[in-house]
Chains A and B, each alone.
Chain A
Amino acid sequence: MNCKKEIIAMLLAGGQGSRLYELTEKIAKPAVSFGGKYKIIDFPLSNCCNSGIDTVGVLTQYEPKLLNEYVCNGAPWDLDRKRGGLYILPPYQGRGGSEWYRGTANAIYQNIDFIKSFSPKYVLILSGDHIYRMDYRKMLESHKRSSAACTVATITVPMSDAQRFGICNINELGEIYEFEEKPKNPKSDQASMGIYIFNTDILIEYLETDDDDEHSSNDFGKNIIPNLLNNGEKLNSYRFEGYWKDVGTISSLWEANMDLLSDDPPLDLSSSELRIYSNNNSMPPQYHGEGSRVSNSLISEGSVINGLVDHSVLSCGVIVEKGAEIYDSVIMENVRIGQGAKIYSSIIDSDSVIMENAVIGVKGEACNEITVIGSGKTVNQ
């Protein structure tokens, strides 16, 4: 018997992230590296840790090996607990047969027993593909004050981009009266962040109804939220102020990395407030040799820099040999950049080797096309 919890989190981490192409060939999207020493999943897990949420179910499905290895027992996020803690929840075989998670809502539906075992009053639904720093306690307070069935976190987006998001139309009381998935003519600039707090009984009721509906695509945004609204349930909105970035595409992942390098970064990883934790190994300090020239860059432990690094983010254990030049790029763990190689506006995934004098990417103001080299590749001239 588990202890009763006020709130538990369910983190949807099974997505393939197909728009990240090579980067998610062998790993799930939440396990993609970000910001030198982090992975995307560090952000929701650290947010839970910083918000006093000590029970998190991580729902995995697509290529879970690295993700399982990385989150291990949850210790880096203080989630190695006797009462609660971190649980990996993969799809499983039951008496009635076995099935994959068919959608975000179905994934939670299949784990209703897990939720019930903690008898939580509230359930926080999170997704593992956003970069942001948030105190969920504030959202929970807003939810309690509103006495709504569900609270949706929203963020202000430029009106011109609103067509790409799930848009919440909100009245002056902060209640959502209409939800439109990718509207052609958006009426509001408040986009759903895919973060929900539900009263547990309501969540279970709607998940069960949704599962009975064979036409449903079993998705929170497409089905559960619209159903709540159609049935006249009170839907509260919580407006989040701060940096939030969906890193579901190559260009947005690259941009989010570059955002860390701006003069006054909107997300300061070294800030001690709501700190972001990660599962670090002990690597030796970084070394800069004779030919090191670095500017406006983030460089991580274990790296050896003998070349030029400008406006780039380097993960742990990256070797930059003499005469190599890296501009506007994201270099992931243990990549070796050979002598005289030149890298422009690229993402080089982990364990790749760029041979001597190879040129990757296009020199110049080429932000519109990011070159991607998949994990473990060797690139010759």
Chain B
Amino acid sequence: MANASGIIFSSLNKNTLSRLTANRTVAAIPFACRYRLIDFCLSNLVNSGIYDISIVANYNYRSLYEHIGSGKDWDLARRSGGVNLISPYQTINDPSSAKMFSTRLEALRSISEFLREMKNDHVVLMDSDTVLNVDLGAIIDEHKASGAVITVVTKETDESFSSKNPRMMIKTSDGYISDIAMSDKFDSDHRELSLGIFILDKLTLLRIVEDATAHNNVSLTEFLMRSCKSNRYATYKYNGYCAVISSFLDYYKYSIELATSRAAREALFEIKDRPILTKVHNSSPKLFKGEANIVRSILADESSIEGSVINSVIFRGVKIGRGSVVRNSVLFHGTYVGESCSLDSIVTDKNVFIGDRTKLSGCHSLPFYIEKGRRV
């Protein structure tokens, strides 16, 4: 068991997943039929023996709290440690004290008392918008062996990289970080993309929070940029599968990739002893009525399918009526598709109702989104 604690951040910045995050925080975004993004963070931590986890969220966290519950589905309902949800709060003497955290640093500062009381020596900081199945234990071991102050998990990028928002891009020399830049496209100098996973020891974390505050740094990124040249910050180059979801289009692209790419499914779901855990809903098996034509698609259980499903991601309890054809689409929990419908490149949010003989279509670079509970 790793002597470490985990801290997960969810939607600290206003980001461009606006449609998916209208009602929910980033960590609670449904992904891959039966999961939410937080499941990948929590599973990576518990699969590495880290059972003391805090989740920091600013707003729209109802669905996240509901999903986590006591944490028992991740073995996180513990007497000591377990899962702990942190959000901004007011103090009685100063009602204006409840400020939203806009950066990781602000969040960490507001919980510094809690950080001081943490029993473990090491801390893993994680963002919730990166989907991967990684052995954090190995990274922590490497961090300890390297003697670095902080280790950032990165992925090497190539010319094909682009992002809707600027992301933290890192330049290393002799194995240590020599420069950091924010960029939304490939930068031949700063080739390593930060995956938002940072490993450091508890005392260093406390020192960073103090130091950054003293220097008026507003964010962890700013602090690292300022201090990287005079400190030994290392990177751990992860070369496995990962999906960095920084926009709605990313979300759509990676969702469909899971349906169509065997390699992606294997890298996330078929690693021995590292299962991705989620809240168990006791769904009944999926019922296929008549002759259903299902090709290159992943489906969660419950409810029934009578039509065709091609290159799609179908969540729990989705019903698809006779003669309907669903292509290149992502249908969230409880979506109802009537008879003889045709859907192409659609993302439906929860409990969308699509009446008989409806034809809807987006395109691959501009999927059409239908908001929660909408009737079409």
Q: Are A37 and B34 in contact (CB under 8 A)?
A: no
Q: Are A287 and B298 in contact (CB under 8 A)?
A: yes
Closest to A299 in B: B286
Q: Are B295 and A289 in contact (CB under 8 A)?
A: yes
Chain B residues whose CB sits within 8 angstroms of the CB of A282 once the complex forms: 73, 275-278, 280
Q: Which of A70-96 contact B (CB under 8 A)?
A: 75-76
Among A16-24, A99-107, A229-237, A272-280, the stretch that binds chain B is A272-280
Which of B282, B288, B290 makes the CB contact (< 8 A) with A278?
B282
Closest to B279 in A: A282
Closest to B301 in A: A301
Which of A36, A283, A288, A309 makes the CB contact (< 8 A) with B296?
A288
Q: Are A298 and B296 in contact (CB under 8 A)?
A: no
Q: Are A293 and B32 in contact (CB under 8 A)?
A: no
Q: Does A269 contact B (CB under 8 A)?
A: yes
A322 to B259 CA separation, bound complex (whole angstroms): 17
Binary interface profile of B, 283-299, with partner A (CB < 8 Å = 1, else 0)? 11111111111111111
Q: Which of B248-305 contact A (CB under 8 A)?
A: 259, 265, 268-270, 275-278, 280, 282-304
A173 to B286 CA separation, bound complex (whole angstroms): 44
A290 to B287 CA separation, bound complex (whole angstroms): 19
Q: Are B290 and A296 in contact (CB under 8 A)?
A: yes
Q: Does A186 contact B (CB under 8 A)?
A: no
Q: Are A288 and B299 in contact (CB under 8 A)?
A: yes
CB distance from A75 to the nearest CB of B (A): 7
Q: Does B229 contact A (CB under 8 A)?
A: no
Q: Does A381 contact B (CB under 8 A)?
A: no
Binary interface profile of A, 21-41, with partner B (CB < 8 Å = 1, else 0)? 000000000000001110000
Which of A284, A292, A301 makes the CB contact (< 8 A) with B276?
A284
Chain B residues whose CB sits within 8 angstroms of the CB of A163 once the complex forms: none
Q: Are A296 and B301 in contact (CB under 8 A)?
A: no
Q: Does B33 contact A (CB under 8 A)?
A: yes
Binary interface profile of B, 21-38, with partner A (CB < 8 Å = 1, else 0)? 000000000001110000
| Given A36-B284, A301-B34; A285-B299 close (CB under 8 Å) | yes
Q: Does A207 contact B (CB under 8 A)?
A: no
A277 to B280 CA separation, bound complex (whole angstroms): 10
A288 to B259 CA separation, bound complex (whole angstroms): 9
A298 to B288 CA separation, bound complex (whole angstroms): 6
Q: Are B275 and A299 in contact (CB under 8 A)?
A: no
Q: Does B116 contact A (CB under 8 A)?
A: no
A281 to B34 CA separation, bound complex (whole angstroms): 12
A269 to B32 CA separation, bound complex (whole angstroms): 23
| Given A75-B72, A287-B265, A295-B290; A280-B282 close (CB under 8 Å) | yes
Chain B residues whose CB sits within 8 angstroms of the CB of A286 once the complex forms: 286, 298-301
| Given A284-B276, A286-B299; A294-B285 close (CB under 8 Å) | no
CB distance from B347 to the nearest CB of A (A): 17
Of A261, A283, A284, A313, most buried by chain B (CB within 10 Å of CB) is A284
CB distance from A183 to the nearest CB of B (A): 38
| Given A282-B276, A301-B34; A37-B284 close (CB under 8 Å) | yes
Chain A residues whose CB sits within 8 angstroms of the CB of B293 once the complex forms: 293
Q: Are B269 and A284 in contact (CB under 8 A)?
A: yes
A206 to B260 CA separation, bound complex (whole angstroms): 65
Q: Are A288 and B295 in contact (CB under 8 A)?
A: yes
Q: Are B286 and A298 in contact (CB under 8 A)?
A: yes
A292 to B277 CA separation, bound complex (whole angstroms): 27
CB distance from B47 to the nearest CB of A (A): 12
A126 to B270 CA separation, bound complex (whole angstroms): 40
Q: Are B296 and A289 in contact (CB under 8 A)?
A: yes
Which of A75, A270, A283, A285 makes the CB contact (< 8 A) with B284?
A270
CB distance from A288 to the nearest CB of B (A): 4
| Given A75-B72, A286-B298; A294-B292 close (CB under 8 Å) | yes
Which of B290, B297, B302 makes the CB contact (< 8 A) with A288?
B297
Binary interface profile of A, 42-78, with partner B (CB < 8 Å = 1, else 0)? 0000000000000000000000000000000001100
Q: Are A76 and B278 in contact (CB under 8 A)?
A: no
Closest to B292 in A: A294
CB distance from A15 to the nearest CB of B (A): 25
A37 to B286 CA separation, bound complex (whole angstroms): 10
Q: Does A345 contact B (CB under 8 A)?
A: no
Chain A residues whose CB sits within 8 angstroms of the CB of B265 once the complex forms: 284, 287
A270 to B291 CA separation, bound complex (whole angstroms): 20
A297 to B292 CA separation, bound complex (whole angstroms): 10
Q: Does A314 contact B (CB under 8 A)?
A: yes
CB distance from B28 to the nearest CB of A (A): 17
Q: Are A35 and B295 in contact (CB under 8 A)?
A: no
Chain B residues whose CB sits within 8 angstroms of the CB of A277 once the complex forms: 282
A309 to B289 CA separation, bound complex (whole angstroms): 12
Closest to A309 in B: B288
Chain A residues whose CB sits within 8 angstroms of the CB of B300 once the complex forms: 285-286, 301
Q: Are B288 and A299 in contact (CB under 8 A)?
A: yes
Closest to B275 in A: A282
Chain B residues whose CB sits within 8 angstroms of the CB of A313 once the complex forms: 285
Chain A residues whose CB sits within 8 angstroms of the CB of B282 once the complex forms: 76, 275-278, 280
CB distance from A217 to the nearest CB of B (A): 39
CB distance from A281 to the nearest CB of B (A): 8
Binary interface profile of B, 52-83, with partner A (CB < 8 Å = 1, else 0)? 00000000000000000000110000000000
Of B33, B34, B288, most buried by chain A (CB within 10 Å of CB) is B288
A297 to B43 CA separation, bound complex (whole angstroms): 32
CB distance from A114 to the nearest CB of B (A): 27
Closest to A310 in B: B291
Closest to A35 in B: B285
Q: Are A296 and B289 in contact (CB under 8 A)?
A: yes
Interface residues of B (CB under 8 A from A): 32-34, 72-73, 259, 265, 268-270, 275-278, 280, 282-304, 309, 317
Assuming A281-B275, A295-B289, what are 13 further A-B pairs, CB within 8 angstroms? A37-B284, A37-B301, A280-B282, A281-B280, A282-B276, A284-B32, A285-B34, A285-B298, A287-B265, A289-B295, A290-B295, A292-B294, A301-B34
Q: 12 A-B contacts, Cβ less than 8 Å apart? A: A270-B304, A282-B280, A284-B32, A284-B270, A288-B297, A288-B299, A292-B295, A296-B289, A298-B288, A299-B286, A300-B285, A314-B285
